[in-house]
Chains A and B, each alone.
Chain A
Amino acid sequence: MENKKPDICAALACEQPKNAVPIWELEFHLWNCFSPKRVILGTEFLTLSSGDQEKTLHENAEIMFAVSRELQFSALTIPGGYWEIAPGVPAYYWLPDEARIEQTKILKRVVSDNLMLMAVTGGVLAIPEANDYISFSTKLLEAPEEIDDLAQRCWFQGIEQGKKFSDLGVEGLITASDIAENRGPYFNPEQLRRFIFPYLHKWALEVKSLGVFPILHTDGNVESCLDEIAQSGISALQAIDPVAGMDIIRVKNRIGDKVCLCGNVDCGLFLNGTPEQIYKTTTDVLQACKTGGGFVLGASNVIQPQAPKENVLAMIEAWRHYGSYKPVTDKRL
């Protein structure tokens, strides 16, 4: 079987892969559409007996690997730790801590060296969830020392978690830190300089020292701070949020030689677009970004479970036509 890891390693190092543009999804929710068996995660996983949990983790790994191969993924993001999209509402893609570790071990054995494993382990502050943003925002202005502490703790925990997962063979660590929204950064420039960029820098250095790729995921419009992002030392920037008007060509021109870009087919289009639209957008993104490498194809954000599988297949189809780096006449992959 073709080993897809060297291609994504090259891209994340801002080089041109030998074979093709790698494909990687930040968070993929459609495993079950491409498999006769079902991945079981989150709340449903908790209801299983411990024996069944163990069996499920093995099945999950087999399904994820098989689907990743079918869809030509070069990397796979392991399920995240518990997080709530609102008080009491757990996100879909998570496992309890111990199971998450176990899932990673099993996945590593199953995927071996054929795929890169990625994990969201954090490290940098973000727009807070649920109602926390009100007290967080007040503290940003009234008690910035408390935010210093918070940023430090977030960084420390991110590093601790990162070490744990890198020891298990994870090769890409992600801090999912939405620092912006449609208009631009949530934080003012002074706050970015104090609470975000120094920690991003420390985090990137530390992660690199583990021999692992540090990846920043942020939604929103970050055009005004692309230089700081590029200088932080991260290997890759994921999202390049089209909803917020981010133009990946402009980003590529500005920082594409320093940071690998991962994205940015609009995750919303996966939900309400047609396969033709996905094919066209993917083609445009590939043609704009693949030159010289330093580019990983994927959706801008989570491909949610309601997305029709035909749209995912349309992205792969466009990649088959335009994703190759091989200098042959029939470049179809």
Chain B
Amino acid sequence: MNDLIGQISICIERGKVNKAAPYPPDMREQDGADELTKQAIDDGIDPNEILHGCMMGMQKIGEKFSRNEAFVPELLMSAKAMTAVMAHLKPFFQSGNVKRKGKFVIGTVAGDLHDIGKKLVAMVVEGNGWDVIDLGVDVSADKFIAAIDEHPGCIVGMSALLTTTMVNMEKSIQGIRAKHPGTKVIVGGAPLSTEYANKIHADGYAADPQGAVNLLNGF
């Protein structure tokens, strides 16, 4: 593997955004995801390879998070580094030179304002090569359906943290199935379980972002 790609991957895993970023302390003054990606593009490295490096870094931090070896703020920093890479790759996505694995529409269901878990899933999935559309919090069934209309073939992710809003997941799934029968829906959130996911006919449940990536890659 190209050395630059390896370094980009490390920057993502460690959350090193750019040269000016003081975190992590042992990488101070070193180039970050931002500079290294720019350099890689200038050196003519295939952007697909850059995306691949990004995915490797994101997968590593995602797995660490799953093993409870990384904490939410650290994962958010990795996501920030990943965003810096994506900013450089954007033109290649637009031109079609770099292909992503698919589209993933995610939101926290109606009545629920818990944002953090949904955001982490969105970021890790994006860093693993998916085009992510984050609809935010308090997302109604109609909004999910409108997003599927706009992004045909997407996979949908729903987050719920409250017992009172878990029922809105079921309603949203029913609404989606009525209009777009083939759409795959995965669900998650603190009070959820595989049993509940099965009960509401979701296509998958995961307890953390890496689990979400594994589900998506398995479809």
Chain A residues close to B by CB (< 8 Å): 85-86, 89, 127, 130-131, 133-134, 137-138, 140-143, 181-188, 191, 243-244, 267-268, 271-272, 304, 306
Enumerate chain A residues within 8 angstroms of B113, measured Cβ to Cβ: 85-86, 89, 130
Enumerate chain B residues within 8 angstroms of A184, measured Cβ to Cβ: 68
Are B72 and A181 in contact, with the CB atoms below 8 A?
yes
Interface of B is mostly: loop
Across the interface, A127 reaches (CB within 8 A) one of B68, B116, B190, namely B116
Are A188 and B73 in contact, with the CB atoms below 8 A?
yes
Given A138-B80, A142-B21, A182-B190, residue A271 in contact with residue B68 (CB < 8 A): no
Would you call B61 an interface residue if the criterion is a C-beta within 8 Å of the partner chain's C-beta atoms?
Answer: no
Chain B minimum-CB-distance residue to A304: B164
4 residue pairs, one from A and one from B, having the closest CB atoms: A137-B73, A268-B163, A86-B113, A271-B163
Chain B minimum-CB-distance residue to A271: B163
Interface of A is mostly: mixed
Enumerate chain A residues within 8 angstroms of B164, measured Cβ to Cβ: 271, 304, 306
Enumerate chain B residues within 8 angstroms of A133, measured Cβ to Cβ: 115-116
Given A85-B113, A86-B113, residue A188 in contact with residue B71 (CB < 8 A): yes
Given A304-B164, A306-B164, residue A86 in contact with residue B137 (CB < 8 A): yes
Chain B residues close to A by CB (< 8 Å): 15, 21-24, 68, 71-74, 76-77, 80, 113, 115-117, 119, 137-138, 162-164, 190-191, 207-208
CA distance in complex: A211, B170 (Å):
50
Chain A minimum-CB-distance residue to B65: A183
Given A243-B190, A268-B191, A306-B164, residue A142 in contact with residue B23 (CB < 8 A): yes
Enumerate chain B residues within 8 angstroms of A183, measured Cβ to Cβ: 68, 208
CA distance in complex: A85, B116 (Å):
13
Chain A minimum-CB-distance residue to B207: A182
CA distance in complex: A100, B162 (Å):
28
